[in-house]
Amino acid sequence: MSTAYDCTRPDGRDSGLAAAANTVRAGGLVVLPTDTVYGIGADAFDADAVGALLSAKGRGRDMPVPVLVGSWSTIDGLVQSVSQQARSLVEAFWPGGLSLVLPQAPSLAWDLGNTRGTVNLRMPLHPVALDLLREVGPMAVSSANRTGHPPAATAQQARDQLGDSVSVYLDGGPAGDPVASTIVDLTQPHPRVLREGAVSLAELSEVLGVEVEATP
């Protein structure tokens, strides 16, 4: 059976974060609020948990799971190298609605799906999400919905779709701005925008000093 915690109340937030952290460490799934939509998350380094996440969503390995981090510095241990472009974007837009696709560190023992040696990283601008990430470390997090269904803007919408496949639901109230993150691919010399979202092309171009265009 799943349990929901009202994280808009101090007592509910404390007990919910403790339950969520224990669940993640035990290989279970949790739903958490982010600054875009609600997410379903698992320990990024637990392949079985990530597999359960994909199964709960009805999603295949051909759509790898992004990773959320709780601090700027976490990125250094997860990627092959942090370019100046990546560093500039992190400093400008994290925490916030920008996801970066980078070459992953070859030593990492994780399985996020068919990533072809890359990882999609983001630091969310939501206090509940950040508290959990700082407690348990990087989490594999995807939108909290069944594939093909609308993303969840509330914990209840997530629960209606995912049910008891998720052990803990952290209810942080309605999602603020249900706009997906902008995804920038930095695996090539010139940055490519794979998905336009919360951060505009003009904002990216201004920070990087080059014109950034969306992939056709």
pTM of the model: 0.94
Q: What is the mean pLDDT of residues 131-149?
A: 96
Question: What's residue 64's pLDDT?
Answer: 86
> Does residue 177 have a pLDDT over 70?
no
Q: Are 2 and 163 in contact (CB under 8 A)?
A: yes
Q: How far apart are CA 25 and CA 19, in angstroms?
A: 10
Percent of the chain at pLDDT > 70 equals 99
pLDDT tier for residue 175 given thresholds of 50, 70 and 90: confident
Q: What is the pLDDT of residues 109-133, one digit of tens each?
A: 788 887 788 999 999 999 999 999 9
Q: What is the pLDDT of residues 69-102, one digit of tens each?
A: 999 999 999 999 899 999 999 999 999 999 999 9
Measured torsion, CA atoms of residues 100, 133, 82, 61, in degrees rounded to the nearest 10: -50
Q: What is the mean pLDDT of residues 186-212?
A: 94
> Does residue 210 have a pLDDT over 80?
yes
Q: How far apart are CA 70 and CA 49, in angstroms?
A: 19
Residue 25, CA atoms < 13 Å, CB-side half-sphere: 9
pLDDT tier for residue 179 given thresholds of 50, 70 and 90: confident
Question: What's residue 54's pLDDT?
Answer: 95
What spatial distance separates the first Cα and last Cα of the chain, rounded to whole Å?
44
Question: What's residue 114's pLDDT?
Answer: 79
Question: What's residue 129's pLDDT?
Answer: 97
Q: Which residues make Cβ contacts (< 8 Å) with residue 30, sequence separation at least 6?
A: 20, 23, 24, 40, 41, 42, 132, 166, 167, 168, 169, 170
DSSP 126-149: -HHHHHHHHHH--EEEEESS-TTS
Question: What's residue 93's pLDDT?
Answer: 98
Q: How far apart are CA 204 and CA 135, in angstroms?
A: 30
Percent of the chain at pLDDT > 90 equals 83
Q: What is the mean pLDDT of residues 179-202?
A: 93
88, two tokens: 């500039």
> Does residue 191 have a pLDDT over 70?
yes
* Mean pLDDT over the full length of the chain: 94
Greater confidence (63 vs 148) lies with 148
Q: How far apart are CA 173 and CA 154, in angstroms?
A: 6
Residue with tokens 């209810």: 171
